[in-house]
Chain A
Amino acid sequence: MINFVLLALLLIVAVGIMRLQDLFAVTMLLSIYGLMSATFFVAMDAVDVAFTEASVGAGISTLLLLVVISFTGRAERKTRHKPYVALFVVTVIGMLLLYGTSDMPYFGSSDAPIHNHVAPRYINDSMREIGVPNIVTSVLASYRAFDTFGEVVVIFTAGIAVLGLLSVSSKALSNSQPLNRPRGLYQQHIVIRIVAKILLPFIFLFALYVQFHGDFGPGGGFQAGVIFAAAFILYAMTFGLDAATAVVKPAVIELIAAVGVLLYGSVGIATLLSGGNFFDYDYLLADPIAGQHLGILLIELGVGLTVTCVMVMICFGFSLRRKAHEQKAVMNISERGPK
């Protein structure tokens, strides 16, 4: 019953996102949408997914959208052409998809095809074969480790692409004078500074717990990486970007992102060299279960490192670009002129 209420709320929020013109309001609604869908995932038993969606959908994506809106302005212009074509396309596709659902198995039925092929093996045998209570972790990190490797590489590539698109030369930033506009939160809001100081060690500790407790409860490298990154971004927001880059240089972050992918890949190479298949952790140590534990630990660590560093890298990329913009703002405006 809970899922119907949540789905109804999700629909309402989605319609609101479609109707509103103010991009800031849309971003706030998207954050609410993230919260709601994560709650829906909890109601559907997908706790690991809820974990990720909570930290990504409500945290990082809101943050990125806000940074970009602070570049581009929050008003959306009304489109001039009439949306009849779009409405037609959407209605036709929607009708076809709805027609397609008539063959689908009913919600929650245990004899649906999806539950009858590999899933019983994962549920019944994973404890014997992998020795990890969280089945999602054993599927993610052991049975389908090659798949996850591909996804980590995609994340890494996306990070590099963002860096390539947004990086500004550090010379351009350091040569220019610091602006003496009223600085952000870190000088005006002493309360936030103190509360952030209290919270930050706790968040880092909690991220470590999520990283290493992922075998036994909800959690793992992806979730921990995002939480780590969020904590680091909180530090950058409350104490200023300069303080954050003084703690870890951007070059070091880029290096660690690459090290994470390399660590993941080299675990695969190590299993090849010790006589197994790619990512067959049974061969890492003499005892297959201990080998599985070591393999999962290492690749979750690799995933965590890469995800943390890519998220931090992306956010720093946007923030540095924004900073460069603010310094050049006056010049740009006079250059561009009225069109």
Chain B
Amino acid sequence: MILGLANTWVAIVLMMIGLYIVIAQGNLIKKIIGLTLFQTSVFIFYISMGKVAGGSAPILAQGITEYSNPLPHALILTAIVVGISTTALALSLVVRIKETYGSIEEEEIQAQDES
């Protein structure tokens, strides 16, 4: 089964794309978007771990014997809403930075701080 780990690999690649955006790109909004990608890759990783082959959604019903693991679902469900609140906090910081420095590019902000 060569594709048995494919979901994990894709999650890792997505995570690295997010990390690359955070490190390499100077625009603060782009950095926040990179963090969102990073976050979503973790969600994908958790949810893939919870899947059982042949299982069904963890809502009890007649005639279904095997269910996927409900624990990652409960964790990620709250993490998504917490994630959007923290993203909103980061975005409000960006708005304040834009008001103070007149720019949201990392390099310009640093140049203003040094001068």
Closest B residue, CB atoms, query A216? B59
Is A107 in contact with B48, judged by CB distance below 8 angstroms?
yes
Closest chain-A Cβ to B59's Cβ sits at a distance in Å of 5
Contact among A10, A106, A115 for B14, CB-based, below 8 A: A10
- Chain A residues with Cβ below 8 Å from B80 are 49, 52-53, 56-57, 222
Within 8 A of A (CB), among B29-45: 29-30, 33, 36-37, 40, 43-44
Is A318 in contact with B57, judged by CB distance below 8 angstroms?
no
Q: Which one of A90-98, A232-240, A266-274, A290-298 is at the interface?
A: A90-98
CA distance A145 to B96 in the complex (A): 35
Is A136 in contact with B60, judged by CB distance below 8 angstroms?
no
Assuming A107-B7, A136-B77, is B84 touching A114 (CB within 8 A)? no
Is A53 in contact with B43, judged by CB distance below 8 angstroms?
yes
Contact among B4, B73, B85, B105 for A46, CB-based, below 8 A: B73
- Chain A residues with Cβ below 8 Å from B105 are 77
Assuming A17-B33, A53-B43, A76-B27, is B61 touching A45 (CB within 8 A)? no
- The 0/1 profile, CB within 8 Å of B marked 1, for residues 172-209 of chain A is 00000000000000000000000000000000000000
Q: Give the size category of B's interface with A.
A: 35 or more
Closest chain-B Cβ to A26's Cβ sits at a distance in Å of 6
- Chain A residues with Cβ below 8 Å from B73 are 46, 48-49, 136, 139
Within 8 A of A (CB), among B1-19: 1, 3-10, 12-19
- Chain A residues with Cβ below 8 Å from B10 are 7, 10-11
Is A122 in contact with B91, judged by CB distance below 8 angstroms?
no
Assuming A89-B23, A162-B88, is B107 touching A94 (CB within 8 A)? no
CA distance A171 to B17 in the complex (A): 45
Is B5 in contact with A49, judged by CB distance below 8 angstroms?
no
Assuming A33-B40, A118-B71, A307-B81, is B87 touching A61 (CB within 8 A)? yes
Closest B residue, CB atoms, query A102? B5
Contact among B7, B21, B74 for A139, CB-based, below 8 A: B74
Is B48 in contact with A217, judged by CB distance below 8 angstroms?
no
Q: Give the size category of A's interface with B.
A: 35 or more
Is B77 in contact with A52, judged by CB distance below 8 angstroms?
yes
Assuming A101-B9, A165-B96, is B58 touching A49 (CB within 8 A)? no
Asked if A218 is an interface residue, CB under 8 A from chain B, the answer is: yes
Closest chain-B Cβ to A128's Cβ sits at a distance in Å of 11
Is B27 in contact with A77, judged by CB distance below 8 angstroms?
yes
- Chain B residues with Cβ below 8 Å from A49 are 43, 47, 73, 76-77, 80
Closest A residue, CB atoms, query B52? A110
Closest B residue, CB atoms, query A337? B102
Assuming A18-B21, A77-B27, A107-B7, is B85 touching A133 (CB within 8 A)? no
Which residues of A are at the interface with B, using a C-beta cutoff of 8 A? 3-4, 7, 10-11, 14-15, 17-18, 23, 26-27, 30, 33-34, 37, 40-41, 44-49, 52-53, 56-57, 60-61, 64-65, 68-69, 71-72, 76-77, 79-80, 83, 85-87, 89-91, 93-94, 97-98, 101-102, 104, 106-110, 112, 114-115, 118-119, 122-123, 126-127, 133-136, 139-140, 144, 147-148, 151, 154-155, 158-159, 161-162, 165-166, 216-218, 220, 222, 225-226, 307, 310-311, 314, 317-318, 321, 336, 339
The 5 closest A-B CB pairs, nearest first, are A106-B4, A108-B53, A158-B85, A86-B24, A86-B23
